[in-house]
Every structure is written in C-alpha cells, then in structure tokens.
Amino acid sequence: MIFERGWFIRKMNKYAPRGYTFVILDAEGRIAMHATDITGDQEPRGPFVSNISFDMLDSLYGGLMTRRNRKIHQACTVADYMFAYDIARPQMVAPDAKTATEQESKYEIYRSIARDHAHRSGKPLGLFMRKNALLIQGLQDSNAPLPAMLATRLNQYVNKCTWYAIEKVMSSMPICDMKYYQDLYRQKMSFLGIEYGQTFGKKFGLIDVDKIAFEKRHKDLTVEIERLMYDVLPRQEKALSTKKNKRPDDTSAHEKLQTQLENTNNRIAELSQERDSVAPREPRRPARDVLSNVFYKSGNATRPEFSKNSIVQFMQMAFLQETKQRKK
C-alpha cells in the first residue's frame, strides 16, 4: 500500500460527520461510515459503504508519494494534483498483456469515480439524514427490501462525506510532510510489532485478544462438556448399574460410584453455566429500537411498507418519529 491506511483513516476521522467514524472494511480498503447508535457493533454494509477505497487512492495518486518527477513540487499538497491524473498516477509494470488490461480498466473505473466528485466544495449537508440512516439500517436488520430512493440518497451522502474527508486530508499538509509522517507511522508500528488491521473488526491495528480468548474458552468448554456427557457419564452409570446388580450388599463401593456420578453431573452444570457466560453475543441492532413505532406493532416485529414513488418515500421518512432510549 502506498497511502498508509492506519495513519490516513485517523486523519480522515477528524472530518467525519458528527456521530460517525470512517472504517476500513476489506483487503481492497473500502471506506465505510459507522455510527454506534445506528449500526451498533455490526460491520457497515449496503449504502453505508462508499465506492471509494485505498486501492483507488493508490491507483490514482500513488505517483505523488513514490516517484520523483520535476513536475511534482514537494511543497505543494496532494490536493493540488488531484485532477492531474497523468502526473499523479504511479508507474505500473504488468507481467503480461492480460494483467495490463485489467489494471487499465480498473484505473479507468477509479478515475470516473474521482471525476464524479470533481468541483464539489463544502461540507456535505443532508436533510433528515439521521432518520434516513436509521430507517435503512433498520430495514437491513429486518432483511427487508430497501426503498430505492432513500438507499441511493444515503449512499450518495456517504460518498460525499468520504470524498470531503479525503480532500481535507490531502490539502492539510505538503507532499513531503505527508511522506515523512506516513513513514514515521510505519516505523513506529513496525517497532511496536503492530500491523494495522485492514478490516472493521481490528481496531487501531490491535487484535481483539479478549474476543479470541472468549471464543477459545467457549470451544474448550463445549468439548469438555460433551466428553463428560457422552463418555464419562455413561461409563459411570453403567459401572453403578453393574455393581448394584452383581453385589448389592457392597454399600461402600455403591456409595463411591454414586458420589462420582453426582460429582460429574455437578461438574457438567458448572461448566455449562460458565460456557453460557462466555458464549458469543448477538450484535447490537439499535436502529429498530430507535424507530420502534415503525418496526414493532403491539410488541411484534413488523416490516414497514414504503411507496415506490421517490417523493412519497421522502415524506414517509421525514415524518418518522424516533423513540427516546433509556440509558443503560
């Protein structure tokens, strides 16, 4: 990667809309917007994912970071060259004609996306965008079809906010400083032995150790409980039954086997309780709770119906009422 994702996404989050953070989703580096009070702890999907990625930034502007060119003034910002595509494009060497064609077609797609955002200035504003986002997320959580106009409207807002944040970062410092701070960030991460997580589930390059430990403990407990239930317990029951039939007068041996059987049952109960305490939890889905009047009727989950007319869709969304949430 040419643009350091960890460093860059932190800079972008200074310009994120209130309540949102920019996150990276996959190996391509797709950028999405996440809001805890809307999406919960789920990975953003659908309209919340922009069509902009770090792979796109590397393909379009990587040349400004990697090559020496007398046409590139190191004291200028990346934003000064954002639409000088021939200068900003990095040098690509393809091993064969097929790879070259694929690279060229991908580059043309990325450039067309950048051109769509050209000459847009100012912070993106959207009327009723919170309600729009809550509704779309609630419908996604209900596995319901999305109103086309409202889903497109939200995705356009996400794209605008993402590009706005990128432009602000690109114009925040000269190219030479951006190179320096990105390299410094890489060196420190390498020194600390931290590799920045490229996916939503890895925060700030750190692996969620607690989550991994809980998952391993849950798996180990499940294996142990099954061993006790389907191996140890049947053998103890069989031994108790055999001892009772062959030597019914041997009370000491009978009591010993009975005690072992009770201890095994108690152990199974204890392990089952511990396993339930570390079991994976369902992700929080707060959107439907905030719009409980829309997604619940008489305590039962329901799917709201929306008109296919874009104007009517907008009016339906605008008149939605949020429910005040109790503080937990």
Calculate the average pLDDT of the chain: 85
pLDDT bucket at 199, cuts 50 / 70 / 90: low
Residue bearing the bigger pLDDT, 23 or 245: 23
205 has pLDDT over 50:
no
Structure tokens at 242: 């055999």
Question: How does DSSP classify residue 50?
Answer: E
Longest dimension (CA), the chain: 102
282 has pLDDT over 60:
yes
pLDDT bucket at 126, cuts 50 / 70 / 90: confident
Map residue 288 onto helix, strand or coil: helix
The span from the CA of 193 to the CA of 186, in Å, is 10
Tell me the mean pLDDT in the region 220-239. 89
pLDDT for res 66? 87
Q: For tokens 């750190």, what's the residue? A: 206
Tell me the mean pLDDT in the region 119-128. 79
The span from the CA of 167 to the CA of 206, in Å, is 27
328 has pLDDT over 50:
no
pTM of the model: 0.76
The span from the CA of 176 to the CA of 182, in Å, is 10
pLDDT bucket at 20, cuts 50 / 70 / 90: very high
Map residue 99 onto helix, strand or coil: helix
The span from the CA of 126 to the CA of 205, in Å, is 32
Q: How many CB atoms are located within 10 Å of the residue 137 CB?
A: 27
Tell me the mean pLDDT in the region 28-48. 91
Strand partners, 49: 32
259 has pLDDT over 80:
yes
Name the most confidently modeled range: 12-16, 22-26, 307-311.
12-16
pLDDT for res 315? 92
